[in-house]
Amino acid sequence: MTIGFLGLGTMGSPMAINLIKAGFSLQVWNRSRGPVDTVAKVGAQACDTPADAARGADVLIAMLADDDTSRVVLNDGGALAALARGAIVVNMATVSLDFAREMQAKCDALGLRYIAAPVLGRVNVAQAGKLNILAAGASDTLAQVQPIFDVLGQRTWRFGDVPEQANVVKLASNFMIASAIETMSEAAALTQGHGVPGADFLDMITTAVFAVPAYTGYGGAIAKQVFEPAGFKLALGAKDVRLALLAGEAANVPMPFGTVLRDNHLDSLAHGEGHLDWAALSKVAARRAGQEDAAAD
């Protein structure tokens, strides 16, 4: 099976390397050349354009940043048009429900099969091949790409026959992660305001009550005030919260806390923090409590 792989960012690169090590033949492309050369050293075929990476591939995997980037690469970059009829397109990015429907229609028109398979897990999880894969699409198509998912993840969760169903699950999951970061941030500011170091509180709460990756990982970063290098950029988290709110609006689902999260992300972006790790959202709560200088010490 030949795989075209588009997007070799912090998540895409370890995923592509794991597939190569598992014996798959990969044709890879990335907007910047450095990651392409790195993955090529492991055995991938380096490609100059998205269309080159897609040409001759049985499966095309896209691991791109957002709707706009995905649209430019898959449509304008000629990737979809370069695929043979019957090829499978696996979009593993976190995108809007509207974009998922757009891609489904485009693939149908070209005689391609489209599935959505966004992932849960940070860079270290991707490196270990332990991602959780949230998949939706035609069951027979999902079965064909399951060997790929088995290399990339510890479990594949199937959520329906319509690709956008996987995307709404991913948005709901990221909404909950953003909520966890926000509540840890406010709670740490609360204890700090009464003389208990926020780091001590976070150490306790992520050990005794919420000893799960989303809390231990982001809680540890908040406690240590370590936001670079970013495992997942705050700007991308802001994008996902916005997409979750749009999904809620489309189904008449009120998400009042989502509006709080949106505004706090905007606060952080306005302070030039979008390039930092998502845990840097905690800086908003610290600023509002007059604790920013203390948190930086």
> Catalytic residues, which ones?
170
Main-chain dihedrals φ then ψ at residue 157, nearest 5 degrees? -105, 120
- Residues linked to residue 119 through DSSP beta bridges, in sequence order: 133
- Residues linked to residue 131 through DSSP beta bridges, in sequence order: 153
Residue length of the chain: 297
- Determine the residue type at 171: L
What is each CA distance from 212 to 11, 17, 215, 218, in whole angstroms? Answer: 21, 27, 6, 10
Q: What is the dihedral of CA 245, 100, 150, 63, to 10 degrees?
A: -90
Residue with tokens 């609006």: 249
- Residues linked to residue 88 through DSSP beta bridges, in sequence order: 59, 113
Residue with tokens 């956008």: 164
Residue 89 · residue 80 · CB < 8 Å: yes
Residue 59 · residue 148 · CB < 8 Å: yes
Residue with tokens 């090590």: 21
CA angle 187, 190, 195 (to 5 degrees): 130
Half-sphere exposure (Cβ direction) of 103: Cα atoms closer than 13 Å: 33
CA angle 270, 214, 289 (to 5 degrees): 40
